[in-house]
């Protein structure tokens, strides 16, 4: 399973990419707004750092297909690696069909069930993004959703990739990988969490102590 970083923080993107653990970035207007910067400026800067898929979302207030298509074309023109993130609605599916037919990659977001994922894939989506954390908030199984989508896509040889979104902890990452997700998009704080284990730190401290004891002797 591959990893995308879900952020618009340039410093975190640079660090995660330098570690060699991410191959793409997902953003949305809310994330970018938190950085207090211009949307297109941030997207362009991210493309100069990460050589991989960069999701840029149409504005939340754009709810008609015509508007999504117009914005999608404008965002896609920024760089060849841009993926247009679109909400999974009837208008979103219409926009996905048009943009995909023009060779523009799309990421259908806010998916909460298998029928939505299937419709998005048939509309030409490059990626579908089921939100596992949010669906678990209403006492449903996010992992079962990932598994169901992965199983059906495999049976019908659907090439649309599955991005696990709303990933909140290391266990989510483990279970998503087992369930068949192609990608998990995660916040930088989760990368830090995944790296930590008390035995690793204890081992480092022991190696350092053994080395210093040997040198002193």
> Is 97 designated active site?
no
Catalytic member of 2, 14, 59, 85: 85
Q: Work out the number of other CB atoms within 10 angstroms of the CB of residue 61.
A: 7
CA torsion angle 26 78 104 166 (round to 10) = 10
- DSSP-based three-state secondary structure for 108: strand
Closest CA to 194 of 171, 168, 170, 167: 170
- Enumerate residues 6+ apart whose C-beta is below 8 A from 42: 8, 10, 27, 32, 35
Measured in residues, the chain has a length of 217
Please check whether residue 99 is in contact with residue 71, taking contact to mean a CB–CB distance below 8 angstroms: no
Token pair of 39 as six digits: 């949307």
DSSP state of 56: E
Q: Which residues are catalytic?
A: 85
């Amino acid at each position: 399973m591959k990893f995308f970083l879900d952020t618009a923080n340039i410093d975190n993107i640079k660090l995660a990419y330098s570690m060699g653990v991410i191959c793409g970035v997902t953003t949305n207007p809310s994330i970018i707004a938190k950085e207090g910067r211009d949307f297109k400026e941030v997207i362009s800067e991210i493309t100069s750092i990460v050589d991989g898929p960069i999701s840029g979302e149409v504005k939340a207030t754009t709810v008609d297909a015509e508007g999504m298509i117009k914005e999608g074309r404008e965002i896609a023109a920024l760089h060849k690696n841009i993926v247009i993130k679109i909400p999974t609605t009837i208008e979103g599916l219409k926009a996905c069909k048009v943009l995909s037919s023009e060779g523009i990659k799309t990421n259908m977001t806010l998916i909460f069930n298998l029928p939505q994922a299937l419709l998005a894939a048939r509309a030409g989506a490059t990626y579908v993004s089921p939100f596992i954390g949010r669906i678990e908030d209403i006492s449903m199984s996010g992992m079962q959703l990932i598994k169901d989508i992965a199983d059906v896509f495999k049976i019908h040889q659907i090439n649309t990739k599955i991005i696990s979104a709303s990933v909140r902890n290391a266990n989510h990452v483990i279970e998503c990988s087992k369930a068949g997700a192609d990608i998990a998009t995660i916040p930088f704080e989760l990368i830090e969490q995944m790296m930590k284990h008390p035995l690793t730190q204890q081992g480092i401290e022991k190696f350092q102590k053994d080395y210093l004891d040997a040198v002193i002797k």
